[in-house]
C-alpha cells in the first residue's frame, strides 16, 4: 500500500468523500464507473461496514459490481431497483452548464441509463475536467459490431456539416483487438477538439443506424463536486444556482486505500 496518495488521487478521494454525504440510509444508489467513481464505491463500502449504512447499489459496469460486492455493498439490478434516489459518477469533461462527456471507461450506455433513472445525478471530478467548451476529450460513441466501418464513415461524413474542429473517428482498441463493452458493442472515439452545439450533436448521432448511444450527457447532471489535492471541495448545484466550498480533513484509511488497482 502506498504511504501517500498523489495530489490527483487526493482530489478524487475528497470529491468522492463529499459526494457520499448525499447518500442516506435506505437509498437506491447508482454506482458509476471509472477511477474517481471507484473512490466513491470504497467510501460507501466503508460507511456500510463501519456505520451500518443500508443501501442498494446499481452498478454501471461489471467491474463496478465486483468492487461494490468486495466492499460490502448490496448489489441489485436496475430492474430490481426500478428507480434510483441518486447516482454518483465521474466525468471526462464538464462545462459551466454541467453538460458532460462520459465513456472514457467504456460504460457510457449503462451509465446514461442509470443516471436518467435517478432523481439526482452527482458528478465527482477534479478541476482538470472543467472546460469552456466540450470536445477536447474524444467523444465516445457506442456502435454495434455489424457494419461498424460503415457507421464510422457515416459519422465522419455527417461531422463535415457540424460545428466541430475535428472530424475523425477511431475504433477503440484493447490491445490488438477491438474494445468490447459489457453489451458486446464497439466504441468509436470522435476526435472533435471542440463541440459547438452538444445538444444537436447528441441528437444527430443517436439517429444514425448502428449507433447505440453517445457519451454526451445533456441536462442530466444536477450537481458537480470538484476535489482538489489540498483537501478542498467545491459543490456546484445547477438547479439551486449555488456554489459551496469546504475543506475536508484527509485521513488515510488502511481499509479504504488497500486496493488502488481501479
The verdict on residue 97 lying in a domain is yes
The answer to whether residues 234 and 39 touch, using CB atoms and an 8 Å cutoff, is no
Please check if 136 is assigned to a binding site. no
The verdict on residue 254 lying in a domain is no
Please check if 104 is assigned to a binding site. yes
Please check if 126 is assigned to a binding site. no
The verdict on residue 17 lying in a domain is yes
Q: What is the pLDDT of residues 127-177, one digit of tens each?
A: 999 999 999 999 999 999 999 999 999 999 999 999 999 999 999 999 999
The verdict on residue 253 lying in a domain is no
pLDDT attached to residue 110: 98
Cα dihedral angle (139, 144, 147, 153), rounded to 10 degrees?
A: -10
- The enclosing domain of 171 has a CATH number of 3.30.70.260
pLDDT attached to residue 196: 97
Specify whether 162 is located in the same domain as 104.
no
Q: Which residues contact 157 (CB under 8 A, 6 or more apart)?
A: none
pLDDT attached to residue 1: 31
Specify whether 236 is located in the same domain as 115.
yes
Which portions of the chain are predicted below pLDDT 70?
A: 1-3, 250-262
Please check if 35 is assigned to a binding site. yes
Specify whether 51 is located in the same domain as 145.
no
pTM of the model: 0.93
Specify whether 229 is located in the same domain as 146.
no
pLDDT attached to residue 5: 87
Specify whether 32 is located in the same domain as 87.
yes
Q: How many folded domains does the chain comprise?
A: 2
Is 245 catalytic? The answer is no
Q: What is the pLDDT of residues 200-213, one digit of tens each?
A: 999 999 999 999 99
- The enclosing domain of 96 has a CATH number of 3.40.50.1360
pLDDT attached to residue 257: 53
Please check if 202 is assigned to a binding site. no
Specify whether 152 is located in the same domain as 240.
no
The C-alpha atoms of residue 117 and residue 92 are separated, in whole angstroms, by 21
Please check if 150 is assigned to a binding site. no
Specify whether 231 is located in the same domain as 211.
no
The C-alpha atoms of residue 42 and residue 254 are separated, in whole angstroms, by 12
Secondary structure (3-state) at 41: helix
Specify whether 18 is located in the same domain as 107.
yes
Residue 244's H or E segment, with its range, is: strand 242-247
Secondary structure (3-state) at 171: strand
Q: What is the pLDDT of residues 87-96, one digit of tens each?
A: 999 999 999 9
Specify whether 184 is located in the same domain as 150.
yes
Specify whether 117 is located in the same domain as 59.
yes
Please check if 33 is assigned to a binding site. yes
Question: Which residue in the list 111, 157, 176, 213 is annotated as catalytic?
Answer: 111
Residue finishing a domain among 197, 215, 233 = 215
The verdict on residue 259 lying in a domain is no
Specify whether 11 is located in the same domain as 94.
yes
Domain range for residue 151? 139-215
Please check if 175 is assigned to a binding site. no
Specify whether 118 is located in the same domain as 228.
yes
Amino acid at each position: 500500500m502506498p504511504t501517500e496518495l498523489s495530489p490527483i488521487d487526493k482530489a478524487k478521494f475528497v470529491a468522492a468523500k463529499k459526494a457520499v454525504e448525499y447518500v442516506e440510509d435506505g437509498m437506491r444508489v447508482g454506482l458509476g464507473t471509472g477511477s474517481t467513481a471507484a473512490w466513491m464505491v470504497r467510501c460507501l463500502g466503508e460507511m456500510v461496514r463501519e456505520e451500518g449504512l443500508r443501501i442498494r447499489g446499481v452498478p454501471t459496469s461489471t467491474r463496478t459490481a465486483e468492487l461494490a460486492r468486495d466492499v460490502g455493498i448490496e448489489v441489485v439490478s436496475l430492474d430490481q431497483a426500478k428507480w434510483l434516489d441518486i447516482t454518483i459518477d465521474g466525468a471526462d469533461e464538464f462545462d459551466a452548464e454541467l453538460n458532460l462527456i462520459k465513456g472514457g471507461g467504456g460504460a457510457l450506455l449503462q451509465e446514461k441509463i442509470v443516471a436518467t433513472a435517478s432523481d439526482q445525478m452527482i458528478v465527482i471530478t477534479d478541476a482538470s475536467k472543467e472546460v469552456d467548451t466540450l470536445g477536447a476529450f474524444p467523444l465516445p460513441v457506442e456502435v454495434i459490431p455489424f457494419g461498424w466501418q460503415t457507421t464510422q464513415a457515416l459519422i465522419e461524413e455527417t461531422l463535415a456539416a457540424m460545428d466541430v474542429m475535428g472530424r475523425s473517428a477511431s475504433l477503440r482498441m484493447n490491445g490488438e483487438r477491438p474494445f468490447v463493452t459489457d453489451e458486446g458493442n464497439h466504441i468509436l472515439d470522435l476526435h472533435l477538439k471542440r463541440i459547438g452545439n452538444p445538444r444537436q450533436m447528441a441528437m444527430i448521432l443517436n439517429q444514425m443506424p448502428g449507433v447505440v448511444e453517445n457519451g454526451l450527457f445533456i441536462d442530466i447532471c444536477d450537481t458537480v463536486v470538484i476535489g482538489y489535492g489540498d483537501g478542498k471541495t467545491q459543490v456546484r448545484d445547477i438547479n439551486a444556482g449555488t456554489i459551496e466550498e469546504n475543506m475536508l480533513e484527509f485521513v488515510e484509511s488502511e481499509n479504504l486505500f488497500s486496493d488502488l488497482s481501479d
